[in-house]
Amino acid sequence: MKKNLFIFIVLAPLLGILLAGGRVYYSIAMWKYEGPDKEFQVKPGEGFSSINGRLGREELISNTRIFHRYAQINGQMTKFKAGNYIIKSGSNLIDVVNILTSGAGITETVTIPEGKNLFEIAEILEKSEISKKDEFIAIAKDMDFAAELGIPAERLEGYLYPDTYHFAKNTPAKEVAKKMVSTFNAKTKDVDFSTINLSKHEVVIMASLVEKETGASFERPRISGVFHNRLKKRMRIQSDPTTIYGIWERYNGNLRKSDLLEKTPYNTYKISGLPVGPIANPGIEAIQAAIQPEEHSFLYFVSKNDGTHVFSTNLKDHNSAVDYWQKNSRNRKGRSWRDLNKNKDQ
């Protein structure tokens, strides 16, 4: 009788604990997902309960209650990071937790070229399935968000640094923009903006003009020098790219005389000084060129239709260059960016 009581009171509960512990151990470490490698997305702002439930329904974990308890005990319930992940065949519960909290999810590689504006960047991001075009444009034009990031302007234009990025699909536009501005800050942290008689923001504006006006890196300091010379002489900048930016959202690719006559905060044919803000997003070389312009007497330049320009010190020579390079169709035909290397030594 006493022996049976001992078994009932002591051994039975102990056996139950061992069995329960074995079941928990099996669910955590021994059970493995045996399906094919599967993509799983942790949605931005998604809570643990939703993540846990979806993992259970997709049979990527052994037991939702044990998954909950394991994550809770290990302080990981709030550490799941938004992104797309691959749950590999053979993963156990611990593996799944580590995968979804590591942040090392599937990413899309996207390259933002120098000189693209916020509208063009928005199109690139949408094409890469990273962020919605309209959402990115809205956040990039949000003055309060710009102020939050320390940008003294009405929009983020000029501070969305051109670089190669790795983002998960469907990353919120705000996160993408923050990363690009953070990259701008990192790339320019050693730049001394105090060496020239322009504010930091004006330097970025100038750099954006330089970036848009030439595709030849060796010309950037010279182009910058032209703009600085014109400002010193109180001449208008008269840059087509600034005019185009001012009408960008209705621009059809054809710059008309009426566009040049329309007064906008960006049309440097109609306003004095620099435009109200950057017209594109410059790289570090254009920023350095804006701060360290080439010293010369040039006041004009005209495209040679291959990415390089002819520079002039007076209007007469400039008009002659325009006649030769722009009004003479033979000098436009067949020229391309491949001629850049040929022109470096000219």
Tens digits of pLDDT across the chain (346 residues): 544 544 545 444 554 454 444 565 556 766 888 889 888 888 888 899 999 999 999 999 888 988 898 889 888 889 898 888 888 998 888 889 898 988 777 778 999 999 999 999 999 999 999 999 999 999 999 999 999 999 999 999 999 999 999 888 888 999 999 999 999 999 999 999 999 999 999 999 999 999 999 888 899 999 999 999 999 999 999 999 999 999 999 988 888 888 888 999 999 999 999 999 999 999 999 999 999 999 999 999 999 888 899 999 999 999 999 999 888 766 655 454 444 444 433 3
Q: What are the structure tokens assigned to 311, written together?
A: 């520079």
Neighbours of 36 (CB within 10 A): 8
Query: Residue 2 falls within a domain, yes or no?
Result: no
Q: Does residue 198 sit in the same domain as residue 183? A: no
Q: Which residues contact 336 (CB under 8 A, 6 or more apart)?
A: 306
Q: What are the structure tokens assigned to 284, written together?
A: 């570090």
What's the pLDDT score for residue 310? Answer: 94
Q: Does residue 53 sit in the same domain as residue 33? A: yes
| DSSP state, residue 310 | E
Query: Residue 321 falls within a domain, yes or no?
Result: yes
Query: Residue 46 falls within a domain, yes or no?
Result: yes
What's the pLDDT score for residue 45? Answer: 83
The number of domains in the chain is 4
Instruction: CATH number of the domain at 142, please.
Output: 3.30.1490
Q: Does residue 112 sit in the same domain as residue 176? A: yes
Q: Does residue 307 sit in the same domain as residue 279? A: no
Q: Does residue 199 sit in the same domain as residue 292? A: yes
Locate all alpha helices (DSSP H) within 28-149, ordered by sequence: 48-57, 64-73, 93-102, 118-127, 133-140, 143-148
Query: Residue 8 falls within a domain, yes or no?
Result: no
Q: What are the structure tokens assigned to 252, written together?
A: 């059809």
Q: Does residue 262 sit in the same domain as residue 240? A: yes
Q: Does residue 234 sit in the same domain as residue 292? A: yes
Query: Residue 10 falls within a domain, yes or no?
Result: no
- The last residue of a domain, from among 187, 205, 220: 187
Q: Which residues contact 250 (CB under 8 A, 6 or more apart)?
A: none
Query: Residue 170 falls within a domain, yes or no?
Result: yes
- The last residue of a domain, from among 76, 102, 128: 102
pTM, two decimals, is: 0.76
Q: Does residue 258 sit in the same domain as residue 216? A: yes
Query: Residue 286 falls within a domain, yes or no?
Result: yes
Range of the domain at 146: 108-187
Q: What are the structure tokens assigned to 230, written together?
A: 């014109």
What's the pLDDT score for residue 11? Answer: 47
Q: Does residue 113 sit in the same domain as residue 177? A: yes
Q: Does residue 210 sit in the same domain as residue 254? A: yes
Task: Decide: residue 204, CB within 10 A, 0-12 exposed, 13-18 middle, 19+ buried.
Answer: buried
- The last residue of a domain, from among 187, 206, 231: 187
Residue 224 to residue 219: CA distance in whole angstroms: 9
Q: Does residue 114 sit in the same domain as residue 162? A: yes
Q: Does residue 212 sit in the same domain as residue 291? A: yes
Query: Residue 158 falls within a domain, yes or no?
Result: yes
